[in-house]
């Protein structure tokens, strides 16, 4: 009997210790949860925004905004100068493949130079003799796609003439008091990406050169010239002529 009571007493002691440990663990867990909920508040993160997709640029022909009418400041009896179309379009009978252009150090007025005379411009690493290589495919002006080689060449010259006529500030003739026929000579390169670069101008007046540089620099991006199925730089010479009447 005494032994049984002793066994019960030991079992009770063990159970008390076990219950005490379980209670302590439970109390600590509840305390930790309360402390965590008190000190650490939920951080609300704003919803992630997907980066905006890059919009591809589509090369359309430039939109010409009509110029505002300018007040006529000329004297009543003074006849205002009239300026017809400023670009002379001369038919180019020889194909660009047979055109050879010797690049001068400075632009000199050519004799009877027709717009659209082109030749492949050399890369910086190319040998100078490569400059005279015939061009297989000339650059294409926007709006001249899906045409034959000859039609594309004529379309290019026509588009260039229209662009210059619409954008050139002919009011400079009055401002500079110009008379008679004015000739401007332009040389530029259409690079491997179809962008107009390396523009050089020669004109009777510095402001005419500046205006020509501005207009040519605004030419739209084009389809580059091709040689052996690779894009190449192409050099152009363009005479601009307008006559003040």
- The vertex-117 CA angle with 112 and 123, nearest 5°, equals 135
Mean of the per-residue pLDDT values of the chain: 69
Select the more confidently predicted residue: 159 or 120. Answer: 159
Backbone angles phi, psi at 33, to 5 degrees: -65, -40
Q: Each residue of 48-102: pLDDT tens digit?
A: 655 433 222 323 333 332 333 434 444 445 455 555 555 554 433 333 333 333 3
Q: Each residue of 186-223: pLDDT tens digit?
A: 999 999 999 999 999 999 989 999 999 999 999 999 99
Rounded distance, CA 177 to CA 187, Å? 26
Length of the chain measured in residues: 245
Compute the half-sphere exposure of residue 134: CA atoms within 13 Å on the CB side of its CA: 7
Select the more confidently predicted residue: 39 or 153. Answer: 153
Contact 79, 238 (CB under 8 A): no
> For position 57, what pLDDT does the model report?
32
> For position 34, what pLDDT does the model report?
75
Contact 147, 155 (CB under 8 A): yes
> For position 130, what pLDDT does the model report?
39
Contact 142, 225 (CB under 8 A): no
- pTM (global) more than 0.75: no
Six-digit token pair at 184? Answer: 């401007």
> For position 238, what pLDDT does the model report?
87
Segment 211-237 mean pLDDT: 93
Q: Each residue of 110-136: pLDDT tens digit?
A: 433 344 444 444 455 443 333 445 788
Helix (H) or strand (E) holding 141: none
> For position 87, what pLDDT does the model report?
57
């Amino acid at each position: 009997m005494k032994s049984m009571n002793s066994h019960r007493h030991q079992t009770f002691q063990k159970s008390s210790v076990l219950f005490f440990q379980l209670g302590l663990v439970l109390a600590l867990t509840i305390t930790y949860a309360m402390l965590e909920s008190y000190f650490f508040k939920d951080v609300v993160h704003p919803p992630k925004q997907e980066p905006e997709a890059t919009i591809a640029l589509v090369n359309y022909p430039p939109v010409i905004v009509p110029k505002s009418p300018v007040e006529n400041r000329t004297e009543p009896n003074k006849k205002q100068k009239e300026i017809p179309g400023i670009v002379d379009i001369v038919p180019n009978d020889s194909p660009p493949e047979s055109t050879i252009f010797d690049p001068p150090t400075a632009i000199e007025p050519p004799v009877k130079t027709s717009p659209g005379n082109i030749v492949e411009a050399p890369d910086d690493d190319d040998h100078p003799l490569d400059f005279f290589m015939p061009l297989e495919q000339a650059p294409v002006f926007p709006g001249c796609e899906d045409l034959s080689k000859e039609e594309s060449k004529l379309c290019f010259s026509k588009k260039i003439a229209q662009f210059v006529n619409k954008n050139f500030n002919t009011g400079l003739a009055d401002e500079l008091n110009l008379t008679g026929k004015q000739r401007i000579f332009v040389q530029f390169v259409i690079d491997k990406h179809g962008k107009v670069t390396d523009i050089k101008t020669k004109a009777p007046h510095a402001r005419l050169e500046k205006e020509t540089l501005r207009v040519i620099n605004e030419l739209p991006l084009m389809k580059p010239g091709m040689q052996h199925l690779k894009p190449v730089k192409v050099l152009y010479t363009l005479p601009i002529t307008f006559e003040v009447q």
